Structure 1
Amino acid sequence: MTKLTAEVPYELAGMRLDQALAELFSEYSRSKLQIWIKAGRVQVNGVALKAKDKLEGGEEIALDAEPEVVITSEPENIPLDIVYEDDSILIVNKPAGLVVHPAVGNWRGTLVNALLHHEPNLETLPRAGIVHRIDKETSGLLMIAKTLQAHNSLTEQLQARTIHREYLAVTRGRMTAGGTVDEPIARHPSDRKRYIVKESGKFAVTHYRVVQRFTRHTLIQVKLETGRTHQIRVHMAHIRFPLIGDPVYGGRFQMPPDCNERLELALRGFKRQALHAAKLGLQHPVTDAYMEWAQPMPDDMTELVGALADNEQE
């Protein structure tokens, strides 16, 4: 049980108790607050009132909030690469190959299972506190809320598009300059695991700039304005610069000519999309201070870029 208190602001004078509670304790659903009012867990100046009772402003409200389990996945002792942690948020560096949420075919061995082992209280938060996701084969930074207040704050920041997210990706094809892809994305009409650019889809904007050019490939930095499923992969494929190793949007594998042995091995051995969530920035849910984290590319992408650069020297 969590004991919470708040003073009713005078601008809420005349408001019903249940409406005021929704304003003061927005991290809880209205239905849950109604249940707690009926159960006598809400005291106004020491007295239990009804949901419809009006407030005058200045009252002291005490709420006995009871967290409820909303996640039923099993905790598993899976190592986490923790970049930052405090009482409100957790930032992890996810390795490629780790599924974020349990689903058909992947009920165990996911990031959710690992998080529940690390912090059991996450079972009371939606999706174990995970506010956004990256694909199984994408590596990099993910934010996790540890409280309902933090979850609401991070969700609102995502919806307001104020979360700063930067990715590094390696594309097939040599780009001459950066740019922006402003194209709506929808689920593929016949293949439910794929997404396509479609006029009737959801608004999606991807900004990209060239970091390093190679003869037939490009290392790019990508900034997301929106966060649609597979957005970077779909948008890059749409402008005919698909990501290296992308099994869904990359097309048939073709070994480019004039590869040295190191590059040929690197390209043949790269079995995932070359995409890494390299930077993450947000306003802290409690302090409101801007915080930002960065993670370098993992070893496989570093070797791939190194092999591309090495091939240029010959």
Structure 2
Amino acid sequence: MKIPAFKSMVLFENDDYVVVNKPPFIASLDERNAPGDLNMLRLARQYSPDAQVCHRLDKETSGCLLIAKTPDAYRSASMQFERRKVTKNYHAIVNGHVIFTDLLVDLPILNAGNKNVSIDRKEGKRAETIFNSLTYFKHYTLVNCQPITGRMHQIRIHLATQKASICGDELYKGKPVFLSAIKRGFRLAKGEEEQPIMKRFALHARSLVFKGMDESEILVEAPYPKDFAVLLSLLEKYDS
């Protein structure tokens, strides 16, 4: 996979912070099972030597990633995340026609390590997400997801509890979208195996609101990457 230049990912930058539009398939930080792989932290430190990634996005998730350029900026951002002062909005394309209007899902999540995440009302930590449907298709829905807390896989598992798994998120029973399922008369060439329209789960960190070191509010929005935009356009064309 070709890694884009870090500068081309930048959505916002000042003396203290840089917000990038993280491409899919690049980890935010070092991974245990792939310690030598390129990740956003390493790329950021080539750009700004003292860079620190302020929060994580799953490897397959694209979108807004906040990076601090100084230790003081990192401390400030960390406190904002801890106190739930950062507003994060994600867009997900989910299986099914689902109607969410300010739906608050308040289900505790247990992270047992090694990406083993489950809903556990006894041992889990509090996890809250607000969901709103944005665009309806016949068989799919574009949903805005606002996590109040920041648990691992929170949006993914909370959507799964609502029978609205993210397209392509096989870990939580999300089915990928194939063109043959939405385009009438679609035919594959002989001997060809159909690939899903999007080769990852359809989750994008759409926007981020936080405070700069001067206490001014900073709002950053990340355009959809190509795969997410293509899936949406095909749903609009063939599944509306």
What TM-score, normalized to structure 2?
0.87
> Which one of the candidate residues 9, 15, 38 is aligned to 1:87?
15
Q: Secondary structure at the match of 1:132?
A: coil
Runs (4+) of structure 1 exceeding 4 A deviation are: 251-258, 261-267
Q: How many residues are matched?
A: 228
> Which one of the candidate residues 215, 227, 237 is aligned to 1:288?
215
RMSD: 2.5
Partner of 2:109: 185
The answer to whether the Cα contact below 8 Å between 1:94 and 1:139 also exists between their aligned partners in 2 is: yes
Partner of 1:114: 43
> Which one of the candidate residues 100, 104, 119 is aligned to 1:197?
119
The answer to whether the Cα contact below 8 Å between 2:180 and 2:186 also exists between their aligned partners in 1 is: no
Q: CA separation in 1, counterparts of 2:184 and 2:43?
A: 38
Shift of 1:255: 6.0
Closer, same or farther in 2 for the Cα pair 1:271/1:257, shift >3 Å? closer
* Percent identity of equivalent pairs: 29
Closer, same or farther in 2 for the Cα pair 1:246/1:151, shift >3 Å? same
Q: Secondary structure at the match of 2:54?
A: coil
Cα deviations across residues 115-159 of structure 1 (Å, max 9, x unaligned)?
A: 111112x1xxxxx41110100100000111111211111111111
Partner of 2:231: 304
Counterparts in 2 of 1:1-314, with a 5 A limit?
Answer: 79-80=5-6, 81-103=9-31, 104-120=33-49, 122=50, 128-178=51-101, 179-188=103-112, 192-199=114-121, 200-251=123-174, 259-260=182-183, 268-285=196-213, 287-312=214-239
Gaps of 5+ in 2: 189-193
Q: CA separation in 1, counterparts of 2:105 and 2:173?
A: 17
Q: Secondary structure at the match of 1:300?
A: helix
Q: Secondary structure at the match of 1:149?
A: helix
Partner of 1:50: none
Shift of 1:256: 9.6
Q: Secondary structure at the match of 1:241?
A: coil
Greater RCO between the two (CA within 8 Å, min separation 6)? 2
Shift of 1:251: 4.8
Q: CA separation in 2, counterparts of 1:109 and 1:152?
A: 25
